[in-house]
Amino acid sequence: MDNRALIEEFLNYLRVERGLSANTLEAYRRDLQKLTAFAAKREKELTTIEREDLRNLMMIMKQEGLDDKSISRAFSAIRGLYKYILREGLSKQDPTAYLEARKAWQTLPRFLSLAEVETLLDQPDLSTDPGLRDRAMIEVMYGTGLRVSELVNLKLGDLETESGYLTCFGKGSKQRRVPMGRVAIDFVKRYMPARMRLLDGHSSHLLFVEKGGRPITRQRFWKIIKDYGRMAKIDDVTPHTLRHSFATVLLENGADLRSVQLMLGHADISTTQIYTHVTDERLKSSYKKFHPRA
């Protein structure tokens, strides 16, 4: 069943089974047309829409100037549609589950300015082995956009320092190669003697290690970043903040969305499109600040 036919079937159900008025049905139709247009642009069926798609749709509606009440009403119509789809057995998953409309459009990714990144990078004590390691980890994460799990699981053999690439395994064990910049490579090379000292006679296949060769957990690196963020007087810094900052700075400097999608390892480009909302907001902010007719 195509998207438009599914919408009409749902509206007919509302008319016959729920006894909704013609005006209410027309309001539902208008709201659901936004969903079908969004799905058509992404060449998706309504039954394959995911939660992240809906989050992006609501952010787009916010960008287009719809007020909170209108977006909430549209989300209510969309939620009703997916309850119907689930009940009819047309899909086994409800993308509206655990998704709160207001939070979806109010939580753009947190990212750091270039000045904040520099301040954060200045915090590790490079006279110590853990400080060298931490600086190298932050440089790699900001320079490649890796997820924290991908970063802490990097192996020595995953780096190609001569060609400037690294290989990582993302969600679903999907492998990808990501370019790594000169600065990140330089700090990894500076860290290698410190790594040997941290190993203290033990062995490990992991690139980044704790004292005695123990692996660095995701939770441990999270704490490391939070601590440096407090030292730098930057609020709410997390490993994911660096990933967001990586994507944002690329798009702001002209990278195409598809390339950023590949580097981030997103299965669906609609997930990557959330960063275009960030750059659009910054563009709008600059316009309002500097244009005399804004």
Hey, which residues are catalytic here? 147, 171, 240, 243, 266, 275
**How far, in Å, CA of 223 to CA of 242, rounded?**
14
Residues sharing a CB contact under 8 Å with residue 103, sequence separation 6 or more, in sequence order: none
**Judging by beta carbons within 10 Å of its beta carbon (0-12, 13-18, 19+), is residue 70 exposed, middle or buried?**
middle
92-to-82, 87, 280 alpha-carbon distances in Å: 10, 9, 35
Amino acid at 293: R
Identify how many contiguous H helices and E strands the chain contains and give both numbers: 14, 3
**How far, in Å, CA of 127 to CA of 131, rounded?**
7
**How far, in Å, CA of 160 to CA of 274, rounded?**
30
The residue with tokens 């316009």 is 287
Residue 54, CA atoms < 13 Å, CB-side half-sphere: 29
258-to-60, 166, 263, 283 alpha-carbon distances in Å: 19, 19, 9, 20
261 neighbors 272 (Cβ within 8 angstroms): yes
**Judging by beta carbons within 10 Å of its beta carbon (0-12, 13-18, 19+), is residue 16 exposed, middle or buried?**
exposed
